[in-house]
Amino acid sequence: MKSILKSALVASAFVLAGANFSAAQEIKVGLSLAQNASGFDFVNGMYETFKAEVEANSDMTVDLVYAGALGAPNERLNQMRRGVIQMTDAADGNYATIHRDVQILNMPYLFSSEKAAWTVFDGPFGQALAEDVRKKTGIRVLGWWESGGFKHFSATRPIKGPEDMKGLKVRVLGPLATIPVEALGASPAPIAFSELYTSLKTGVVDGQDNSVSVFNLVKLYEVQPNLTLTGHTYAFGPLGINDAFFAGLDEAKQKVITDAATKAIAFNRAKSREVEAAAISFAKDHGVTIVELDASAKEAFRDIMQPAAIAWLKDNVDTPELIDQAIAAAKAAE
């Protein structure tokens, strides 16, 4: 009787173990924005596309946690590294805190267009950088998404060339943004994003740089009469997943995730281009003067901003030789 009971218990244990092993995995994703945040479909919609694809093609589930409920971006990034959550929408600046070489792709005027940026990110340079991120941080980069596209300068006065930046107080964050602004003759000010609108309204600063989507998000059209499409820095984000989690999946589920990521990135890039076009029209309709620069004006900005950034990068990244490689890859993509 004891032998029969023991056999039954062992059999039950194997059944339970098998059930646990085959149970559907949950992918928890921490997001910054509230669900249905207006004008930011290119971020939330990207993860919603990923969720739909994963759940349609596997027994895995994707839990999207909105509105920063799981903490600030850097906190969520570290939660992903530890496996507390599996994914998050941390962007380029957040990743730079754990992998300094990522900053190279923030070099002013590195990319001539969004499509050129995509070519570099999807090509050998982007793939090699993604693999280095995986090895050094434990985050597998499934692709590179667009965070609103290029950043542009807005100010209290029209900016038509580098000389118009002189004497302005400009809100920018991080050395790779402040040093090029100083090279233009402006005074950088590290003001928190939450204080940006008030600081512009009260004259604490005269200008700022962000994508047009962000410009509209916080209603800067109310306090900034001029927006110049300088397109000086391309904003992006790695679509990352905890590598240990990914490695623990079978090949079929790994393929579901990589295929879903490909579709999510495609959605993001198309939507980001659509959103920016609408955002420019929206700003115009709200009284903002949009200044578009010709090639010679952009070159004048690049000739001042890029060398200053390169000099800083050479002393502040782990693999300085990647600077020239990135420039070569970007030039080939033009």
Q: What is the pLDDT of residues 45-103, one digit of tens each?
A: 999 999 999 999 999 999 999 999 999 999 999 999 999 999 999 999 999 999 999 99
Which residue range forms the structural domain that includes residue 196? 2-333
**Coil/strand/helix, residue 60:** coil
| Count of other CB atoms within 10 angstroms of residue 306 | 18
pTM of the entire predicted model? 0.90
* Phi, psi of 168, deg, nearest 5: -75, 145
Give the total number of structural domains in the chain. Answer: 1
Question: Which residue type, as a one-letter code, is found at position 330?
Answer: A
Q: Which two tokens stand for residue 2?
A: 């004891």
Residues counted in the chain: 334
Give the separation between CA 245 and CA 231, rounded to whole angstroms. Answer: 37
Looking up residue 170, the CATH number of its domain turns out to be 3.40.190.170
At 242-276, the pLDDT tens digits run 999 999 999 999 999 999 999 999 999 999 999 99
